[in-house]
Structure 1
């Protein structure tokens, strides 16, 4: 029982370390692009 608990704790720590490394080193920049849409002002007046 204790072995399973220790294994789960170690696995959780490894997952946290992996997510932290990915957050700092991974490509998480948003994709930028220009958007042009016509806008109708004063509609319904």
Structure 2
């Protein structure tokens, strides 16, 4: 599994663990996904 796939799975897992359910594919999900994905890239110094 490559790094991008690992980050993708981690981000999805985090968003699904929110106490308030956010429907996947909604505009809110998309914004949070992009934000969290970029944060993970920065943590791994890839972005």
Do these two structures clear the TM 0.5 threshold for a shared fold by scoring above it?
A: no
Q: TM-score range by the shorter chain?
A: 0.3 to 0.5
**Which of the pair has the greater relative contact order for Cα pairs under 8 Å at 6+ separation?**
2
TM-score normalised by the chain length of structure 2: 0.42
Relative to its length, the structure with more helix (as a share) is: 2
